[in-house]
Structure 1
Amino acid sequence: MVKAVVIGAAGGIGQPLSLLLKQSTLISELALYDVVNAPGVAADISHINTPAKVTGYLPKEDGLAKALQGADIIVIPAGVPRKPGMTRDDLFNINAGIVRDLAVKIAEVSPKAFILVISNPVNSTVPIVAEVLKKKGVFDPKRLFGVTTLDVVRASTFVSEAAGKPEDSLSFRIPVIGGHSGVTIVPLLSQTSPSIAVDQQKIEELTNRIQFGGDEVVKAKDGAGSATLSMAYAGARFATAVLEAAAGKKSDFPEMGYVHLSADEAGAKEVTSVIGNSTSFFSVPLELGPNGVEKILPLGKLSEYEQGLLKKAVEDLGGNIGKGVAFVESSKL
Structure 2
Amino acid sequence: MVKAVVAGASGGIGQPLSLLLKLSPLVDELALYDVVNTPGVATDLSHISSTAKVTGYLPKDEGGKAAFKDADIIVIPAGIPRKPGMTRDDLFNINAGIVKGLIEIAAEVAPKAFILVISNPVNSTVPIAAEVLKAKGVFNPQRLFGVTTLDIVRAETFVAEIGGKKTGSELTVPVVGGHSGETIVPLFSQVSPSVAIPDDKYDALVNRVQFGGDEVVKAKDGAGSATLSMAYAGFRFAEKVLKAIKGEKGLVEPSFVYLNGIPGGDVVAKATGLDFFSVPIELGPNGAEKASNPLANITEKEKTLVEAAVKGLKTNIEKGISFAHNPPQKL
* Class of the TM-score when normalised by the shorter of the 2 chains: over 0.9
Say which is worse superposed, 96-105 or 78-87, in terms of deviation. 96-105
Secondary structure class of the residue paired with 1:5:
strand
Structure 2 CA distance for aligned equivalents of residues 274 and 200 of structure 1: 27
Q: Against the structure 1 CA distance between its residues 332 and 84, is the aligned structure 2 distance closer, same or farther, given a 3 Å change threshold?
A: closer
Secondary structure class of the residue paired with 1:254:
strand
Q: Who is 1:259 aligned against? A: 257
Secondary structure class of the residue paired with 1:255:
strand
Q: Who is 2:279 aligned against? A: 284
Structure 2 CA distance for aligned equivalents of residues 171 and 283 of structure 1: 21
Query: Which of 304, 309, 329 is the aligned partner of 1:313?
Result: 309
Structure 1 CA distance for aligned equivalents of residues 4 and 290 of structure 2: 24
Contact kept? 2:269, 2:276, Cα under 8 Å: no
Contact kept? 2:260, 2:266, Cα under 8 Å: no
Q: Against the structure 1 CA distance between its residues 130 and 273, is the aligned structure 2 distance closer, same or farther, given a 3 Å change threshold?
A: closer
Instruction: Read off the aligned partner of 1:69 and give its amino acid letter.
Output: K
**TM-score, length basis structure 2:** 0.97
Do structure 1's residue 271 and structure 2's residue 262 form an aligned pair?
Answer: no
Where do residues 213-224 of structure 1 align in structure 2 (5 Å cutoff)?
213-224=212-223
Structure 2 CA distance for aligned equivalents of residues 62 and 269 of structure 1: 39
Secondary structure class of the residue paired with 1:272:
helix
Query: Which of 281, 293, 296 is the aligned partner of 2:291?
Result: 296
1:70 Cα shift? 1.2
1:262 Cα shift? 1.9
Structure 2 CA distance for aligned equivalents of residues 164 and 244 of structure 1: 31
1:272 Cα shift? 3.2
Q: Per-residue CA shift, 1:175-233, capped at 9, x if unaligned?
A: 00000000000000001112122322212111110000000000000100100000000
Contact kept? 2:6, 2:33, Cα under 8 Å: yes
Secondary structure class of the residue paired with 1:36:
coil
Q: Per-residue CA shift, 1:7-36, capped at 9, x if unaligned?
A: 000000000000000011010000000100
Do structure 1's residue 14 and structure 2's residue 9 form an aligned pair?
Answer: no
Structure 2 CA distance for aligned equivalents of residues 228 and 109 of structure 1: 28
Structure 2 CA distance for aligned equivalents of residues 316 and 332 of structure 1: 22
Q: Who is 2:137 aligned against? A: 137
Q: Who is 1:245 aligned against? A: 244
Say which is worse superposed, 102-111 or 217-226, in terms of deviation. 102-111
Do structure 1's residue 327 and structure 2's residue 323 form an aligned pair?
Answer: yes
Secondary structure class of the residue paired with 2:31:
strand
Where do residues 1-333 of structure 1 align in structure 2 (5 Å cutoff)?
1-165=1-165, 167-251=166-250, 254-265=252-263, 267-275=264-272, 277=273, 279-299=274-294, 300-331=296-327
Contact kept? 2:269, 2:275, Cα under 8 Å: no
Structure 2 CA distance for aligned equivalents of residues 332 and 114 of structure 1: 28
Structure 2 CA distance for aligned equivalents of residues 270 and 25 of structure 1: 37
Contact kept? 1:148, 1:180, Cα under 8 Å: yes
Instruction: Read off the aligned partner of 2:80 and give its amino acid letter.
Output: V
Q: Per-residue CA shift, 1:115-135, capped at 9, x if unaligned?
A: 000000000001111101111
Contact kept? 2:103, 2:132, Cα under 8 Å: yes
1:239 Cα shift? 0.2
Considering only aligned residues, what root-mean-square deviation do their CA atoms show, in Å?
A: 1.3
Contact kept? 1:263, 1:293, Cα under 8 Å: no
Identity %: 65
Structure 1 CA distance for aligned equivalents of residues 130 and 198 of structure 2: 41
1:168 Cα shift? 2.5
Structure 2 CA distance for aligned equivalents of residues 325 and 75 of structure 1: 21
Q: Per-residue CA shift, 1:124-150, capped at 9, x if unaligned?
A: 001111101111111110000000000
**TM-score, length basis structure 1:** 0.96
1:332 Cα shift? 9.3
Structure 2 CA distance for aligned equivalents of residues 269 and 330 of structure 1: 28
Where in structure 2 are there 5+ consecutive unaligned residues? none
